[in-house]
Amino acid sequence: MIVKKTWLSAGMTALLLVLSACGNGTDTTSSTKTGSQATTTPAATAQAEATASQPKTYAAKTAKGDVTIPAAPKRVVAAYYHGTLAALGITPIGASKEWWMGSPFLKEQEAKMADIGSPASLEKVTSMDPDLIVINGFSEENYDKFAKIAPTVFIPYTAYKNVREEMKLLGDTFGRQKEAADWLAKYEQKAKESREKIKASVKEGESAVIINVREKKISLLGDNYGRGGEVIYNMLKLKVPDFVQKQAIDSGKQLVEISMETLPTYANTDHIFICMNAGTTEEQVKAVLDSPVWKTLPAVKNNKVHILDYNTYLYYDPISILGQADLITDMLVKSGS
């Protein structure tokens, strides 16, 4: 019995030692695994330190002086510039629907934006609890009221001449220089590719005029009034008529009204791009297109008239312009085939 008890005792001791060893092994493995998950890699540590060291605010230089804004705003309301902000990687939560929204090239971004009214409603903006507000001259009279809601950046329309200057200005203003530079590179590449595509259809030096019909008024447009101006004159490099250059572009007006009788003088170009404003009736359009004067124009005779749909070409934000470039390029290619 003594021997048997000793043997059992020794056996039990061995078994306990094995189980203990297994248990310790399991615990060690678990501890190692848990430890490996908790251990931060040098790269992760560096990233965390870099994030922690980044400033939480940014001093934006504006027409109203320096304004302290969030470096990474989350709830931006834009009474203007919502398309430009989207191109910079900042998608506003609110924008003016009736006046500025509706571009077919911004459907995805605008689906995330609530309407703040046109003009922007102080009450609506307040209810959205923004951490940043962006406005231009249309809302300047309420600047002080907006500034009480959240940091407000005022950027006047006259602060830039075209979409390229606009992107650089807003990139600098909001600390998004890299995003602005990336878009400008994309713009230049698109312009280069588009000019190459139209080579067989449009000879170097061919001219174009953009005609806008609004009710009974006929106007010639510059390069920064929407209706494809940036694409036609600056990306594709169609020649700007001297009259348009001086009276619309150089003057800064971007629009000069003319009479039907003067069309042969001012629209004597290789190409005509024509846009009918919203509200222009079929009869008013017919009055232009059926006019004997209209039929004398070289572009009309040579079938080089291109119709610009108002709802597609009205917009001149950075994202819309790149989309319009593809459509206008296709128009010119087809007109030469």
Q: Supply the CATH number for residue 280's domain.
A: 3.40.50.1980
Considering the domain architecture, whether residues 228 and 317 belong to the same structural domain is answered as yes
pLDDT of 163: 96
Considering the domain architecture, whether residues 149 and 209 belong to the same structural domain is answered as no
Domain assignment of residue 5, yes or no:
no
pLDDT of 335: 85
Considering the domain architecture, whether residues 178 and 210 belong to the same structural domain is answered as no
* Domain-ending residue, one of 150, 184, 218: 184
Beta-carbon count within 10 A of 193 CB: 13
Considering the domain architecture, whether residues 141 and 234 belong to the same structural domain is answered as no
pLDDT of 16: 37
Is beta strand 217-221 parallel, antiparallel or unpaired with respect to 208-214? antiparallel
pLDDT of 145: 97
pLDDT of 5: 37
Considering the domain architecture, whether residues 123 and 216 belong to the same structural domain is answered as no
pLDDT of 39: 56
Q: Are 135 and 152 in contact (CB under 8 A)?
A: yes
Considering the domain architecture, whether residues 128 and 207 belong to the same structural domain is answered as no
56: DSSP letter: S
Considering the domain architecture, whether residues 245 and 165 belong to the same structural domain is answered as no
Domain assignment of residue 293, yes or no:
yes
Considering the domain architecture, whether residues 225 and 283 belong to the same structural domain is answered as yes
Task: Compute the Cα dihedral for 81, 82, 86, 87 and give only its sign.
Answer: negative
| Residues 31-41 as b or e (16 or more Cβ within 10 Å = b) | eeeeeeeeeee
Closest CA to 70 of 174, 167, 203, 147: 174
User: Tokens in use for 156?
Assistant: 């006047």
Closest CA to 78 of 152, 143, 149: 152
Considering the domain architecture, whether residues 207 and 329 belong to the same structural domain is answered as yes
Q: Are 297 and 207 in contact (CB under 8 A)?
A: no
pLDDT of 284: 86
* Domain-ending residue, one of 126, 155, 184: 184
Number of domains in the chain: 2
Tell me the C-alpha to C-alpha distance, in Å, between residue 212 and each of 60, 227, 241.
37, 8, 15
Q: Are 101 and 110 in contact (CB under 8 A)?
A: yes
- pLDDT truncated to tens, each residue of the chain (337 aa)? 333 333 334 443 443 333 344 444 434 333 443 444 445 666 666 555 545 556 799 999 999 999 999 999 999 999 999 999 999 999 999 999 999 999 999 999 999 999 999 999 999 999 999 999 999 999 999 999 999 999 999 999 999 999 999 999 999 999 999 999 999 999 999 999 999 999 999 999 999 999 999 988 999 999 999 999 999 999 999 999 999 999 999 999 999 999 999 999 999 999 999 999 888 888 888 888 899 999 999 999 999 999 999 999 999 999 999 999 999 999 999 987 6
Domain assignment of residue 61, yes or no:
yes
pLDDT of 55: 76
pLDDT of 274: 95
pLDDT of 242: 96
Considering the domain architecture, whether residues 240 and 155 belong to the same structural domain is answered as no
The radius of gyration computed from the CA coordinates of the chain, to the nearest angstrom, equals: 32
Considering the domain architecture, whether residues 207 and 331 belong to the same structural domain is answered as yes
Tell me the C-alpha to C-alpha distance, in Å, between residue 265 and each of 243, 261, 268.
9, 9, 6
pLDDT of 277: 87
Instruction: Print the domain residue range for 64.
Output: 57-184
DSSP string, 235-303: IS-PBPPHHHIIIIIITS--EEEE-GGGHHHH--SSEEEEEEPTT--HHHHHHHHT-TTGGGSHHHHTT
Domain assignment of residue 81, yes or no:
yes
Domain assignment of residue 295, yes or no:
yes
pLDDT of 239: 97
Domain assignment of residue 243, yes or no:
yes
* Domain-ending residue, one of 184, 214, 245: 184
Domain assignment of residue 176, yes or no:
yes
Region label for 263, one of left (φ > 0), alpha (ψ between -120 and 50) or beta (otherwise):
alpha
Beta-carbon count within 10 A of 65 CB: 8
Domain assignment of residue 274, yes or no:
yes
Considering the domain architecture, whether residues 277 and 321 belong to the same structural domain is answered as yes
